[in-house]
Structure 1
Amino acid sequence: MSAGASLKRRLGATPGDQRPLRVTSPVPVDVWEQVLASAPNALPSQTPTWLRCVCTVTGYEDVSRLYETVDGRRLVLPLVRRPRLGSLLAADFGLPVGWGPGGLVCEGGELRPEDVRMVIADLAQRHVLSTLVRPDPAAAATWEAVVPTSVLRERRMTQTVFLDGGFDEVWRKRFRSDTRNRVRRAERAGVVVECDDTGRLVPVFHQLYGESVDRWARRDGLPLPLARRLAARREPHRKVQTVAAMLGSRCRTYVAYHEGRPVSAIVVLLGTRTAMYWRGAMLEKLAGPVYANYLLHKTAIADAIEAGCTAYNMGDSARVSSLELFKSRFGAVSQDYACYRMERVPITPLVERARGGVRRILALRSRE
């Protein structure tokens, strides 16, 4: 029995489950926008514009799926696929690494367990090599309660600052006292933050990102040429440029300057009610002593509140890490969630073993 058939058998049919009346792929843009209009808590990474960014930069094709249920509801699942491989070799992503969460966008905004069960059953019966779904972390409990234990899981943790009550409330009750002090120290040190939503500051971000890649390589013991090649593949210059051009005012680049020099930058995406901190880079030796990153995020959070957002998603972090601690200083709440991978053949364990071997070889070479 194939893995897909086994999964379908495990899901089974239970009373009250919905079956899709119709499945359409790719999702018509106008229908997707209609679903989004009734789901204001959708993430910026769950929009058709975002999927176009992914396809433009990566060369993937849009294989998003629209589910229409018998009770008249519509659900959208963002998915992309590398073209020209054929369905039997195809790997679908919702969404690829570096592009944020995908998951289901539901008409009316309410995700039900039967919605997840219906979609997992649909994905399991398709003749593709693998499918990866990375849901909105806010819906983690609904997904985890329904997805069978036989489905591979990649455990993650994200952090979100909730913005209800306005900036004064967030500043006084969610920012830690040492965070407020660091923001003030940044201002006294003369740190200045500039915000742009036209793409003008994207080259400044890339300049700082290149410096960050070199710093990460030295920290991890990777040869600089290799680290730079990997970064160029993972984060090509056209990536942020394309997002800034296609999202317009919904993509904001913040740059912190000290003594006239850019020392740190972040890229923030705006949804209807959720802002997402998407990318960051800095000159650590210059930005750290003047607490530039604290002033950057304080400014972005204040702007998100002014734009009507009720949450500021700061992205994934490793547990008990300096990044987790930094985000918690702004009052970010941790949320565990999982990515789900359905495979017709067990390729993930093989890939993980191969990656582990490469990492061990690089570690040995770095000690020579």
Structure 2
Amino acid sequence: MGGFCCPARDTWDQAGGRRCMLLPCLSDPARRSSLSLKVALVMLHIVFVGVLFLLDRELIDKTRKIPWYTALYLSLFVATLAQYFFTAGSSPGYVIDAMRAANETHSIAVKTLMTSKQSASRNGSLIISVEGGQSGKSISRSNATPWTKLVMDLYPPGSSVRSWTCTYCNIVQPPRAKHCHDCDKCVLQFDHHCVWLGTCIGQGNHCRFWWYILEETALCIWTGILYISYLKANFSRAWWKDGIVILLLATLSICLVFLLLLLLFHSYIVLTNQTTYELVRRRRIPYLRGIPERVYPFSKGICTNIYNFCCARSSLYTIETLPTTRELEEKSKPYTCLDVLKCRCC
């Protein structure tokens, strides 16, 4: 009995092994789950849109008469799915990648400086580099990596490096970074981990995520309008068709409410330069614990926040310094009529 084996199980395992060899993404349970969610989301989009063209004859006739109307709708449909996969495949901005980039930039700068010194000495002149202003720094900075030195300047003097170091990655975290347990990496300006996208939302892809929500909301509203138009024109002709459309319309309405709330929420945190994690866990984050809730420490004004969020982030690795006490006092002052005229909120 101990040597008994099940041929069916062996055949199943061999088939599963061949599938994993052909598709390496299927070997990881997390990737299989993420891939299943992506396939389910695409199928939902196809079902909601496909039912319209299968049942609504007037939409087909309208397409023949006004082709640009249906072309715009299908363009939005394709753009929404493209934005979904584009956002899902983008990097949120990992701390380890920023650390490698900072160390590589420092090593290249050192090599360039050494090369310039050698060429200058050959020409008969000598360049002497004097490191001024370093006497007030702790001795531990001399043995620190370029990334550690860069991060140390972002925190108040006298802070401990241990309080900034991630216990999972053993990497020094800049402000607003957090370790994601799903991705098992530290993310710059961590917002949240999106299950439907299968990736974190952070500094690198938050703008793309906002645009995806906007496109998804617009597509949902347009599809709902087409469903309502179909029910007005074809109600009580075929009860089973009406039942399918009403069921899909009810599901679409629930999704629309969720999308609108999500869009409004992320628009709010963009305007105030916050993240979901900072807003929800504000009292547990050390650098936000003593700041009043109505004060947004990283906000630079509505217009500047929008510009930095949409346009100014050409580099994936941008880290922000913690605001000083004076800056927090200025931001905590109530707005006056003069401040509104001076566009202080912008």
TM-score where L is the length of structure 2: 0.23
Report 1 or 2 for greater relative contact order, CA contacts < 8 Å, sequence distance ≥ 6: 1
Which one has the bigger helix percentage? Answer: 2
